[in-house]
């Protein structure tokens, strides 16, 4: 007697909105919450909807691979894309863009760990807010500036006086 075993097509592995096996990153979450507070929750939800649409409309990779490191695709709205990638990294780890997050997350984590100092730096919050709201400002430049500012804030900074070393 021969039995036929009918195989079901495997369902794609997909995490729920919050996966307990993926560790939370409090520093990234702290920075993300701060950044969203600067633009407003309502504004963020509208931007996020557009970014989700962009992400789902991306063409598939030329060959199946866990990550395509050769051709990063980002929307014109880069600041929002960074926030979106941080949110995916925290809450939906199979969905974030690994090549881009490998560049974004370490910087954001550093900023989140020094956020209590950054918000005390004159102009830092306003600078971050402008770069999140205005598409004409490069978010990478702002993140770099805030990283340097946070480094100075932890090590001390003495303003130069002309004629003194």
Q: Place 95 in a pLDDT band, splitting at 50, 70 and 90.
A: confident
**Which residue shows structure tokens 């030329």?**
62
d(CA 124, CA 43): 21
pLDDT tens digit sequence for 121-151: 999 999 999 999 987 778 999 999 999 999 9
pTM for this one? 0.74
Q: Is the pLDDT of residue 164 over 50?
A: yes
pLDDT recorded at residue 10 = 47
Determine what percent of the chain is predicted with pLDDT higher than 70.
72
């Amino acid at each position: 007697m021969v039995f036929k075993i009918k195989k079901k097509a495997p369902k794609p592995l997909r995490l729920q909105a919050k996966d307990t096996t993926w560790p939370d990153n409090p520093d990234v979450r702290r920075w993300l919450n701060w950044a969203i507070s600067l633009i407003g929750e309502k504004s963020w939800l509208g931007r996020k909807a557009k970014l989700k649409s962009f992400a789902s409309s991306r063409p598939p990779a030329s060959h199946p691979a866990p990550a395509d490191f050769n051709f990063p695709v980002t929307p014109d709205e880069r600041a929002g894309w960074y926030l979106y990638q941080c949110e995916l990294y925290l809450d939906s780890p199979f969905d974030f863009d690994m090549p881009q997050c490998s560049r974004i997350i370490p910087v954001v984590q550093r900023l989140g760990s020094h956020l209590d100092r950054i918000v005390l730096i004159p102009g830092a919050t306003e600078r971050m807010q402008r770069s999140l709201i205005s598409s004409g400002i490069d978010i990478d430049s702002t993140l770099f500036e805030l990283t340097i500012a946070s480094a100075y804030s932890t090590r001390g900074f003495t303003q130069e006086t002309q004629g003194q070393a």
